[in-house]
């Protein structure tokens, strides 16, 4: 077993280091056919906020060489909506479930975490820290989540800010750091006789090197928390590289869109070691 909430009173043990990010599973409703979640270490469901937030108008997706740009804007459902519509299915996933919250302010984070605490089958919270986060705002956000819930708290950090925000997040009580959020980018998409620029998050194998760079920088701090790598992981070798430089686990995202069978193979490989 791998502990992804070290020094937390509840802990968050997982059977293997292969986790699924929200981009792979949504609220637990986007699982590709044949993907067996009982084999993975955990899944992260979301995103959600205390109050729902509308997304960008379509089109939202543009392909580029080696990946896609996904422009969802600030889209997320409210915690109340998610609990009413999806939470009943979480215990049936057969693995720990972590809820991703995206609120920027302490009051909203408190409301979201308080409502999520009652959800059956929920093992932790992952906070998507805003791209404008500071050391102070990260500490305040983590403390708000901890006061509102007994669940372990991870923070998913913006890549560029990960080394700077890692220490204040852990000092405030985060037991896990996810390295990290997708990089921002743009790509053109042909629409009719013209082209439309899509701005949003970049997904695909090309995002792996910058993620690994940030992961190495945070790992060098030797903080008393679990590090989870997320970004561009599309091969077995990339999983091993992320673990080799200090990650305790990896979150898979866009690879599930193109090769869902890899998830089970990676999990089986780990179990056989």
Give pLDDT tens digits for 39-73. Answer: 999 999 999 999 988 777 788 888 888 888 888 87
- 49-54: list long-range contacts, CB under 8 Å, 24+ apart: 49/76, 49/77, 49/78, 49/79, 49/101, 49/102, 49/103, 49/108, 49/112, 50/78, 50/79, 50/103, 50/108, 50/109, 50/111, 50/112, 50/115, 51/78, 51/108, 52/76, 52/77, 52/78, 52/81, 53/102
- What is the predicted pLDDT for the residue at 132? 94
pLDDT > 90 fraction of the chain, expressed in percent and rounded:
75
Confidence category of residue 272, pLDDT binned at 50, 70, 90: low
pLDDT > 70 fraction of the chain, expressed in percent and rounded:
99
Mean pLDDT of 217-223: 98
Mean pLDDT of 208-223: 98
Mean pLDDT of 18-26: 95
- What is the predicted pLDDT for the residue at 193? 82
In angstroms, rounded to a whole number, what is the distance separating the alpha carbons of residues 57 and 197? 12
pTM, 2 dp: 0.95
Asked if the model's pLDDT at residue 271 lies above 80, the reply is: no
Whether the CB-CB separation of 143 and 172 falls below 8 Å is answered with yes
Domain edges within the chain = 2-272
Mean pLDDT of 143-153: 97
Residue bearing the bigger pLDDT, 65 or 25: 25
Give pLDDT tens digits for 65-109. Answer: 888 888 887 778 999 999 999 999 999 999 999 999 999 999 999
- What is the predicted pLDDT for the residue at 57? 79
- What is the predicted pLDDT for the residue at 37? 94
- What is the predicted pLDDT for the residue at 10? 95
Architecture of domain 2-272: Alpha-Beta Barrel (3.20)
- Least confident span in 23-32, 83-92, 239-248: 23-32
Of 210, 231, 175, 203, nearest in space to 3 by CA: 175
Mean pLDDT of all residues belonging to the chain? 93
């Amino acid at each position: 077993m791998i502990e992804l909430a070290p020094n937390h009173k509840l802990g968050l043990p997982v059977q293997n280091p292969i986790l699924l990010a929200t981009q792979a599973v949504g609220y637990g409703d986007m699982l590709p056919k044949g993907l067996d979640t009982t084999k993975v270490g955990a899944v992260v469901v979301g995103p959600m906020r205390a109050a729902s937030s509308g997304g960008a108008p379509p089109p939202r997706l543009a392909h580029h060489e080696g990946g896609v740009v996904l422009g969802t804007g600030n889209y997320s459902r409210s915690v109340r909506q998610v609990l009413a519509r999806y939470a009943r299915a979480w215990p049936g996933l057969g693995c720990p479930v972590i809820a991703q919250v995206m609120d920027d302010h302490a009051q909203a984070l408190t409301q979201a975490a308080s409502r999520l605490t009652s959800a059956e089958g929920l093992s932790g919270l992952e906070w998507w820290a805003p791209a404008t986060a500071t050391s102070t705002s990260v500490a305040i956000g983590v403390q708000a989540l901890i006061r509102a819930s007994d669940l372990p708290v991870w923070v998913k950090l913006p890549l560029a800010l990960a080394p700077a925000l890692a220490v204040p997040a852990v000092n405030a009580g985060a037991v896990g750091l996810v390295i990290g959020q997708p990089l921002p980018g743009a790509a053109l998409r042909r629409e009719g006789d013209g082209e439309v620029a899509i701005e949003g998050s970049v997904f695909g194998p090309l995002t792996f090197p910058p993620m690994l760079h940030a992961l190495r920088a945070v790992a060098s701090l030797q903080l008393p928390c679990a590090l989870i790598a997320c970004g561009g992981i599309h091969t077995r070798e990339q999983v091993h590289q992320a673990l080799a430089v200090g990650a305790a686990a990896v979150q898979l995202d866009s690879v599930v869109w193109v090769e869902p069978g890899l998830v089970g193979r990676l999990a089986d490989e780990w179990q056989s070691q």
